[in-house]
Amino acid sequence: MIELSKIREAKQEIIERLKKRPQKDLEQKINAVESLDTEKRKIQQEAETLQAEMNQVSKEIGKLMASGNKTEADNARAKTSTIKATIQTLNEQLQQKDNEILQILYTIPNTPAAKVPVGTKPEDNAIVFSEGEIPKLTDKALPHWELCAKYNLIDFELGVKITGAGFPVYKGKGAKLQRALISFFLDEAIAAGYNEMIPPLMVNEDSGFGTGQLPDKEGQMYHDATDNLYLIPTAEVPLTNVYRDVILKEEEFPIKVCGYTPCFRREAGSYGKDVRGLNRLHQFDKVEIVTLQHPDKSYETLDLMVEHVKGLLRKLELPYRVAHLCGGDMGFASAMTYDMEVFSAAQERWLEVSSISNFETFQANRLKLRYKDASGKTKLAHTLNGSALALPRIVASLLENNQTDNGIKIPKALIPYTGFDIIN
């Protein structure tokens, strides 16, 4: 959530930065917030003036009683009652204005950082780095969904029988490969200084609002209406909410946590050839890395997180590239995002396997996640997160890129985790 103080101080700058977003009504919303805030502050000033007057009258009552002037003391008491009732009405108006401001702020996305490319669609993203050689497959090469059937690794139809489309069943070496990747990603994160957590897979409404999934992505989350709980779309939500309503010490930065969880997404409206097999699922596994950082160092940290994910892809021997997302392709809460994409040789296209984002104070403002600086002043922290990594498209690329006439080769870094070097 954009800070109200920043709208007061730099409204026009915020409006200009928000122009990188595709929504057309954002300037109108910022102006509405400013107008409501002006009304709120007038009410607040009036309430404070009346409170000072009531305090003064209350002091006079004691003096009047001491001097025996009961009639004037009774008149003064009546006056304080009237003032008190007026203050109560003003406080209710203040609460109403606060709620109106919040409801609008909840619908305004984060302001893109100055370096975010201008654009409205994925084709406008800037490719800033690429590495690895794209494998040349034979005419007999198969897409991963056919490889899964051939080697009995993942059963998509069985998942449809048990639950529905988008809920695959991993079997045999497919299940072991999945487990190996999770362990590999976690071990790499821990070696990089991240503290592992196993969070809940369901979160309450406050947690959804805290990281920006609500109300923006309410229709994309699985919701249990009875208990008003949401299945997590990513471990980012519970891991970041660990620090909701927390005041940190400046010397605690950076705080680095990681966690493996299944993730659940309705993916409403997704269809077509791009969602075949593992390309888009309703339930999938992911290892997430989250960092809480001092505002002065968050973009340096973003670069380090990108390098961490690049290292994972390098060890998996996958050709990959880094896309700097344009304003129109970024998530609601992000100030800057890099997507990591791997090349799927059999599908002959790039697949996004990770998003690494700096949210600046956007999430922290909702979470009330703060720290005390050296002077003792309380300020908002910066939050960052990244997939390190999401498994479905990694598995798809590993299977497709490493297929041979003799089977599917396992990258060297994974062999200690799988216990086998080939799937055949």
Taking only the tens place, the pLDDT of each residue in 315-363 is 999 999 999 999 999 999 999 999 999 999 999 999 999 999 999 999 9
Architecture of domain 4-105: Orthogonal Bundle (1.10)
- The sign of the torsion formed by the CA atoms of 293, 295, 296, 297 equals positive
**What tokens were used for 336?**
């800057």
Of the pLDDT bands very low, low, confident and very high (cuts 50, 70, 90), residue 112 is: very high
For 39-77, the pLDDT digits (tens) are 999 999 999 999 999 889 888 887 787 787 878 888 888
Question: Smallest Cα–Cα separation from 257: which of 364, 363, 383?
Answer: 383
The Cα–Cα gap between 168 and 301 comes to 35
For 277-313, the pLDDT digits (tens) are 999 999 999 999 999 999 999 999 999 999 999 999 9
Q: Which residues sit opposite 372 in a β-bridge?
A: 249, 378
For 148-170, the pLDDT digits (tens) are 999 999 999 999 999 999 999 99
Of the pLDDT bands very low, low, confident and very high (cuts 50, 70, 90), residue 268 is: low
Instruction: Supply the pLDDT for residue 96.
Output: 97
Of the pLDDT bands very low, low, confident and very high (cuts 50, 70, 90), residue 219 is: confident
| pLDDT over 90 (residue 99) | yes
Burial class (CB in 10 A: 0-12, 13-18, 19+), 62: exposed
What's the pTM value of the predicted model, to 2 decimals?
Answer: 0.92
Q: What is the domain partition of the chain in residue ranges? A: 4-105, 122-423
Instruction: Supply the pLDDT for residue 270.
Output: 56
Backbone phi, then psi, for 258, in 5-degree steps?
Answer: -140, 160
- Average pLDDT, integer, range 240-260: 98
- Average pLDDT, integer, range 394-416: 97
Architecture of domain 122-423: 2-Layer Sandwich (3.30)
- Which residues, other chains included, contact 93 with Cβ-Cβ below 8 Å and sequence gap of 6+? 43
| pLDDT over 90 (residue 146) | yes
Of the pLDDT bands very low, low, confident and very high (cuts 50, 70, 90), residue 271 is: low
What is the 3-state secondary structure of the chain? Answer: CCCHHHHHHHHHHHHHHHCCCCCCCHHHHHHHHHHHHHHHHHHHHHHHHHHHHHHHHHHHHHHHHHCCCHHHHHHHHHHHHHHHHHHHHHHHHHHHHHHHHHHHHCCCCCCCCCCCCCCCCHHHCEEEEEECCCCCCCCCCCCHHHHHHHCCCEEHHHHHHHCCCCCCEECHHHHHHHHHHHHHHHHHHHHCCCEECCCCCEEEHHHHHHHCCCCCCHHHCCEECCCCEEECCCCHHHHHHCCCCCEEEHHHCCEEEEEEEEEECCCCCCCCHHHCCCCCCCEEEEEEEEEEECHHHHHHHHHHHHHHHHHHHHHCCCCEEEEECCHHHCCCCCCEEEEEEEEECCCCEEEEEEEEEEEECHHHHHHCCEEECCCCCEEECEEEEEEEEEHHHHHHHHHHHCEECCEEECCHHHHHHHCCCEEC
- Average pLDDT, integer, range 99-110: 96
Instruction: Supply the pLDDT for residue 218.
Output: 84
Mean pLDDT computed over every residue of the chain: 95
